[in-house]
Structure formats: C-alpha cells, structure tokens
Structure 1
Amino acid sequence: MDPADQAAVERGEVWEAEAERHLLGQQSISMTDPNEPNVIQDTSKQAHKKDLNFYWISSFQGHRNFDWEALGFDAALLEPSAYNAASVTQRMEDTVGLAKQYRMGIELEFDDQINTDTDKRERYIQTLNGGIDYGYMSKAAFKVYDQGSNRALLGSAKSSDPMARQNYDLMYQFVTGTYAKPRPCTKQPEGPVAPNAAQYVVKCGTEITIASKYNDRSDLWIVFDRFGANKLEGLKEWRLAENTGSNVNPDLSRPSTMLQADISDWIGPYVVRANANGNDNPWDFTGGNHNYDGGSNSSHTGTTASFRVWADGVEVQDGSVTASVYTKIEVVNLIQAYNTKVADGSGRPVLRETVTYEVSNGHVQVHTEIEALEDITFDTYYGLQSVNGAWNDTVRYFAGDQEVASSPAGMYSDSGTKAANPNVDSYLLSSGDQGGFKHMLRVRLDRQYGLGVLANLADHLPVIFTQEYGKTYFLQIKGTTPELKQGEKFQWQGSYDFYAENL
C-alpha cells in the first residue's frame, strides 16, 4: 500500500474497501506482504471507532493464527477443514486442542451435499458427534457455522426426504444442547421375528436390504441405496449369504458375498430438453448415473427428493428387521434437462420422477411416473434396463413365450426391429455354470401400459438391445420427439425377477 492510501485508511476514508480488498476470504496472514499486519491493525481501529467487533476465521494451518489478538482482532476462530479431511474425528480433536491453546473458537463446516450424499452426511454427523466428545456443543463454546453457498440447512428444513430433513433436526438439537449420537443401525433382529417369513427387510439410513431364499445354498439380499454420479436412491447391490436351511435367515448382519455391485443405473436416464429458458448445452443424458460431464467429481443432474419404505403396508423404521410378504419403496427424484444443467450444480429440474418398487421373494415390480415441471420435449428414454455382470453368459429375447432372438451377452445384439417383432416384451439373462446352477434374470416391460405401448418408438428401431459393455436396454422413446406440458405425465411399469435355476 502506498503512503497516500495508508494515510487514507488511517483517516477512515477508505478502510472498508481496503480491508475487503486485503482481507476478504483471507484465512492466513501473508508471508510475503509486510504491510498486511498494518492494514489489519488499522482496520481494527476503524472498526472499533464505529463500535464494531472485528473477528477472524483462520484456516487450520493459517500463518499467525495464534497471534490474532496482537493483530487487532477481538476474537478468532479456527476452520478445521474437517469436512474433507481423511479423518473427521482426528481433525476435530486436533482443532479443539489448538483452539484451547490459542484461546480461539472453531468453525463447523458442511454444505448441501449432506442432503444427497451419504458419505458427506456421515461426515456431518461425525462433526456433530465431536461436539459431545470434545466439548464444543456447550453453549459456552465460541463457534460459527458454515453451511455452504446453497444454505444446506434451509434445504434440509424444506425437504420431504426423511434423511435430508433429519439433518436440520440434528442441528437444532446440537444448537440447543440436546443432541445425542445416533444409535448405530443394527441388522440383527433385536427381538422375536415372524418365523417362516417370505422375506425380511431392514432399513439403515438410506440403505435398505431385503432378504429372501435364493436356492438350497444361499439367501439373496437385494440392496437399495444412494450411489452413482447423482447419488439417487435405487437398486445398488445383490449379495448372497450362505443358508442351507429351508427358510430365509433374518440375521442380515452375517457375512455375504457380492453377486452384482453398483456399476451403473437400472432405471434409465433421459435425453430431454426444456422448451423455454434453456442454455446452449449439447444433447446429452441427465438423471440416472449421468452427471454434468461424466466426471467423477462433476455436479449432479438429478437428486433424490424423498424416499419411503413399507413392509406389508406398515412404514419401516431404521434398525428394525421386519418380516414381510412384500416390501414397497417409493423414490421421488428431480431431474434436470440437458439444456438446464449447470456446471456448478445449480441446474433447474424439469421433471419429477417417482419410482415405486414392490419387492417380493426376488421379484421386483417397478412403476415409474414422469411428471413435467414445465413444458419439455424428449429425444431418448430407455426406462427399464439392467447391468449384466452376474448374468453375463447369454441373453434371449421374447415376445410372450416365443423366443425371437438370442446371443452371447458380451456382444451387441437386439430383439429385431419393432416392425419385425412388434410384441417383444421381455429378455432373459443367464450366467454360466455356477457348480450345478445358473444365476437368472428376467426383465419384462408391460406392453399394454403407458410408454410400454411403444407409441413413441420408431418402427425401424429395436425394442430391446444389448451393448458389448454389459448392459441391456428397453427403448421406450427414440426416433420421435414427444412433448409433455407442465403437469402432464408419462408412466410405465415392468419387473425384474432374480432367481437361480438348477442344471
């Protein structure tokens, strides 16, 4: 700062602008600018002349954070950067130790990803837990809260998603000093369960596990959770747990092996555009497992707004292993268009996707409702599809009971054009020999209902096709450009059957 500017600061003429230029966002004292401490001290004097307090939030390793009082600050706080640290618990412990040593407060930081990302939510909870372990939940502790630019807690408070809403409730409890660490979710029955049940279900946060008898060796666990590029709630894993008994075992904490992992989406993405107020983004998929640009850290193009779980009509609570004949899961997602998505994650949703799963003994019935939030036009939509890793030997295409085509599952194939085979409604995938049996997956689309009628599929295109990279798709919209006006809906329904077949 030249002498004239320095004198102006001392006179109080430009201190606010100069302080902002030098200090806004600065969490460490410069090691190369010898005038910065002078600017800070002069700014402190001007703040005090106006009866204002002068505070500083320093980064965890900020230069001279221990020297805040000599610099002219009335108080200072440490930013732990725990939200992205390798260990939240360790970083909070270290931060509290330094804060006590330097007589500082601490900043608790998080962002709106706590409402959609299970890992970020766990870090948020670990930060709150530290308030109990290290004492900063006390009202006597000096602390501030950084909830990110998108006001995470406002989103939590307004959300109909139980997981997101709970984030607000937990913070309310923390601020009022009534917060208690959430009880670990158990997957073991804590009391008697109905014997000889068709299946058992347990919910732990966003993870839902449904167990049924698979064959004479194993139970099948179908796991729903949030995963993938957009962290949408959906079909995630299939696991086998050893069980040579005649009934499914209700202990869902015992060891299991992976049959199929969370590689990609099972309810398809969209190529859809907003008819008005769109940007210049090119044609692309949104929703499903497709984020802004396909990168692992790219922004989302869809979010799960809410989900609920019922066992035989009774809503399932966390940590209670429940017997049921069928389990119903309802997931509501908000999906952006390719011309409303934005790199910073602030894209505008154009449709509400409600996916309802009814699971019973390895059979998963799916119903999907697509509601336009504004006027939109579709280009491509699959809807019903599968990831074929565990069922990667053969794919067979059917029209009712009639097989119309078959192929090895590891190469491109299809069911023939809609014109040639107009009644195609299912495909059957199978694994190789697993030692006396095969893993089987049958996927069916209701051809008499909604989009399944295939009025929006051009005649020269196949009803079903398989790609060499290991996925099979129904085509429900392609070769046409149907529109939905705001409030109008598309619907479709279909099913998955997971079972073992003896050789």
Structure 2
Amino acid sequence: MKGVFTLIFSICFITSILPTHVLAKNAPKQGIVWQGSDVYITFKHNSKVDMHLIFGPCGINNTFNLKSIYTTSNSKRIFPWVTDKSNPFLISKTDWLGPYVVKALVKGDDSNPAFTGGWHGSNGNATGAATAKTTSISVKVNGKAITKNKSYYGNAEVTVINLIQAYNTKKKGTFVLKEVVKYSFTPKKVGISITTTALEDVLLERYYGLQAQVNSWKGKIQYSNGKTGSYGKYSDSGPAKKSTANSYVIASSSNAYKLRAKIDSSVGLGKLGNLSPELPAIFMESYGKVYFNLVNGKNKKITKGQSTNWKGSYEFL
C-alpha cells in the first residue's frame, strides 16, 4: 500500500507542477452545449481566450441563425458555457445566411419584388408578418445525436430545415421553398452547405447566400483577388468579368481578430453562373455588412421538385 500511495502522490505532484500547455496538449479543442433552443459552440481563439458562437432562433421569422458571439478569458481547458465573466463580441442584428427575392410562377399575386426569409418580414424589412419558419433542428457531435444541457467535445453538425415564402405569396402565407442548411463545426471554422428545393415553380431573382455582419471587425477588408477596402465605406472585388473573388478576410482594428468568409466556387450557385459579369462577386456596404453575389442580374428558374445549392465557410482567425 505504501508503494501505491507513493506512486499516486508522485503522479499528482508531477502533474501539479507541469506547465499548463503540457497539461492541455491533448485537451478537447471544441465544446458544444445544446441549451433550450440555442446551440453553443466554443473553441480556443487563442491560448488565453475562448470564443463562443451562439446559434438559435432570431429575427422576425424566428429562424435558426447566428445570434451572437462572446469571448471569455481562459488560459485553461475549454469551458463551453457563457457566464457573467464572458464578454459580448458581436450581437447579430441581421441575417448571416441570405434571404431570397423569389417569385412564384403559378399561384402568386402581383406584389412587388422584395426579400423574404432570413430576417425579412412581410414589409420587406425586419417588420411585419413572418415570411419563413424553421421546421426542424438536429444536433450531432462526432456523428451522434446529443441531449440538451450537457457538455460535449469534438466536431459538431447541425441540420436545419426552413420553409420560405415568395414575395408574391406572402399575403397568403404560402411557402414555395424548402431550405436545408447543414452547419459543420470544427475548431475556429463553420462550414455551410445549403440545398434549396422548389415546392412549386419559382423564379429566383436575387440571392446573396453567405453574408456577414462585420461591425466587430472594423479594419481593412482584403478580397481574394487582391482588391482591398475599409470598414464604413463601400468596396467590392471589382467586375466579375475582369477578376472574380471567392473569399475575403476582414480584420479588427487591433488586428487581434480576423474573419475569413469563403464560397466554394466549384459548387452550384458558387460557380456564379447567375451573376452578371458587370457586377462584383463580393461587396461590402458602408453600414457594415459583406455580401456574396450568387444570383444577381441573371434570374434562375427552379421548377417544382428541383433544387439548387452552394457551399461556403466562416473562419475565425
């Protein structure tokens, strides 16, 4: 017994004096909690800061989207809970996955074009009646379904199904699109895959897809084709016919935080077959939002039962 006690004491003593980075070498790199209607994804932004991404129902349509980002000072292992010691980094005031300007070709009325879905209500902005709804959410970690209010560690997948009205069916409340959004979460990266299926014949007139509210990154924006811009001023990647771009990086003013957003240019709408060559593939508005131009200038007809898709990602650098 004395030998066993000595061994245990030695192990505990050695562990207590090991540097934190040695102890954390094999520590989990990402934590997940599904609490209430929200999903919390936590990863090490750097050795001293945890970053928490909170996804859940928000906006006029109460659809699943990025709600907020928090940071917590923590030089130890990941703690996947937002506490009173966490600091708000970003509170979403707009959608990150784009709404649609979509027209029903069979049973629609003569309403004027307007965005529906995302954070857009029946008034065309963030007010009015809902124009979309989330019908299901599933959450998996390492390929297995999880239960609520329990911490998990590893890679996560969240699948969301939304229904979207057309601008000329919102008076009747008729849904014309089924949108399946698949999020894949690995440390510091969010993969996005969207497949949109027509529930009746429609014409997709405008669609940005991947968007970002960048008021927490107020520095320089660098487009992947070399073009640059500054927060608070309109900029873009230039006409697609001259030089297209499939990603950008925007930095905080201190350069401590960076966001990279990217569209897979080999998949579906990411090929930009529905973008006018005179328009830019990416642009930033002066009010602090960046858009990809997936459908603009070339309408896309989708017949009942057919689908369109795209893939992209966010990285927190």
- Fold shared, TM-score > 0.5 on shorter chain: yes
Shift of 1:357: 0.5
Q: Which residue of 2 aligns with 1:22?
A: none
**What is the identity, as a one-letter code, of the residue corresponding to 1:412?**
Y
Q: Secondary structure at the match of 1:214?
A: strand
Write the mapping of 1:182-201 to structure 2, written as runs, cut at 5 A.
196-201=27-32
State the partner residue of 1:429.
250
2:234 corresponds to 1:416 = no
Q: Is the 8 A contact 2:98 2:118 kept in 1?
A: yes
Q: CA deviation at 1:253?
A: 4.2
Structure (1 or 2) with the greater helix fraction: 1
Query: Once the two structures are aligned, what percentage of the paired residues are identical?
Result: 34
Query: CA separation in 2, counterparts of 1:269 and 1:296?
Result: 11
Alignment equivalent of 2:278, drawn from 454, 460, 465: 460
Q: Secondary structure at the match of 1:273?
A: strand
Task: Report the equivalent of 1:361.
Answer: 187
Superimposed CA distance per residue, residues 336-357 of structure 1 (whole angstroms, 9 cap, x where no aligned partner):
0000002xxx510000011110
Deviation of the 1:254 alpha carbon: 5.5
Displacement of 1:217 after TM fit? 2.4
- Name the amino acid aligned to 1:221: H
Q: Structure 1: which 5+ runs fail to align?
A: 1-194
Encode CA deviations 1:279-308: one digit per residue, 9 max, x unaligned. 121110000110011566511000001111
Given that residues 116 and 124 in structure 2 are in contact (C-alpha distance below 8 angstroms), is that contact kept between their aligned partners in structure 1? no
- Structure possessing the higher relative contact order (Cα contacts under 8 Å, 6 or more residues apart): 2
Distance 1:317 1:456 in 2: 41
1:231-284 Cα distance to aligned partner (Å, 9 max, x none)? 111111110011022x32245446311111021100000000000111121110
**Aligned residue for 1:387?**
213
Contact 1:206 1:233 in 2 (8 A): no
Q: What secondary structure sits across from 2:190 in the alignment?
A: strand
The 2-side partners of 1:257 and 1:482 are apart by 43
> Equivalents in 2 of 1:360, 1:281: separation in Å?
42
Deviations 1:397-456 (A, max 9, x none): 004xxx2x101121100000110113x1101111111xxx52100000000111100111
AA partner of residue 287 (structure 1): G
CA distance in 1 between counterparts of 2:281 and 2:125 reads 30
**Residues 38-53 of structure 1 mapped to structure 2, 5 A cutoff:** none
Distance in 1, Cα, partners of 2:125 & 2:288: 20
Q: How does 1:85-104 map to 2 (within 5 A)?
A: none
Report matched runs for 1:5-154 at 5 Å. none
2:209 maps to a residue whose letter is G
Relative to structure 1, is the Cα distance of residues 254 and 198 closer, same or farther in structure 2, using a 3 angstrom cutoff?
farther
Partner of 2:257, secondary structure, is strand
Separation of aligned partners in 1, 2:138 and 2:292: 27
Distance 1:224 1:250, change over 3 A: closer
CA contact (8 A) 2:114 2:124 kept: no
Q: Are 2:283 and 1:484 equivalent residues in the alignment?
A: no
Q: Secondary structure at the match of 2:169?
A: coil
- Superposition deviation, residue 387 in structure 1: 0.3
Partner of residue 132, structure 2: 302
Paired with 1:310 and 1:358, the residues of 2 have a C-alpha distance of: 10
Partners in 1 of 2:57 and 2:251 — Cα distance? 27
Do the aligned partners of residues 472 and 317 (structure 1) sit closer, same or farther apart at CA in structure 2, a change above 3 Å counting?
A: same
2:222 is the alignment partner of 1:396: yes
Partner of 1:472: 290
Question: Is 1:290 the counterpart of 2:111 in the alignment?
Answer: no
The one-letter amino acid paired with 2:261 is: V
The residue number in structure 1 matching 2:228 is 406
2:262 paired residue number: 444
Q: Do the aligned residues in 2 keep the contact of 1:241 with 1:254 (CA within 8 Å)?
A: no
1:407 counterpart letter in structure 2? G
* Structure 2 gaps, min length 5: 1-25
| Partner Cα distance (1:337, 1:203) in 2 | 32
Q: 1:472 to 1:250 in 2, by over 3 A?
A: closer
2:37 to 183, 199, 206: 206
Q: Distance in 1 between matches of 2:136 and 2:259?
A: 28
User: How big is the alpha-carbon RMSD for the aligned residues of Structure 1 and Structure 2?
Assistant: 1.4
* Structure holding more strand per residue: 2
Aligned mates of 1:348, 1:276 — CA distance in 2: 12
Task: Return the TM-score normalized by structure 1.
Answer: 0.57
The alignment partner of 1:478 has SS state of strand
Using the TM superposition, give the Cα deviation of residue 393 of structure 1 relative to its aligned residue in structure 2, in angstroms: 1.5
Q: Do the aligned partners of residues 264 and 477 (structure 1) sit closer, same or farther apart at CA in structure 2, a change above 3 Å counting?
A: same
State the TM-score, normalizing by the size of structure 2: 0.89
Mark the CA change 1:223 to 1:280 in structure 2 (over 3 Å): closer, same or farther: same
Match of 2:3 in 1: none
Go from structure 1 to structure 2 and tell me whether the alpha carbon gap of 1:384 and 1:295 turns closer, same or farther (over 3 Å shift): closer
Amino acid at match of 2:285: Q
Could you give the per-residue CA deviations for residues 372-405 of structure 1, whole angstroms, max 9, x where no partner exists?
0000001100001100011122111004xxx2x1
Q: Shift in Å at residue 317 of structure 1? A: 1.0
Q: Per-residue CA shift, 1:137-186, capped at 9, x if unaligned? A: xxxxxxxxxxxxxxxxxxxxxxxxxxxxxxxxxxxxxxxxxxxxxxxxxx
Cα 1:321/1:252, change in 2 over 3 Å? farther
1:250 to 1:351, Cα distance in 2 relative to 1, 3 A: closer
* 2:132 is equivalent to residue 318 of structure 1: no
Task: Please identify runs of 4+ aligned residues in structure 1 that moved more than 6 A.
Answer: none
Change (3 A) 1:391 1:371: same
- Indicate conservation of the 8 Å contact 1:393/1:410, yes or no: no
Q: How does 1:185-264 map to 2 (within 5 A)?
A: 196-245=27-76, 247-253=77-83, 255-264=85-94
- Tell me how far apart the structure 1 counterparts of residues 209 and 125 of structure 2 sit (CA, whole Å): 23
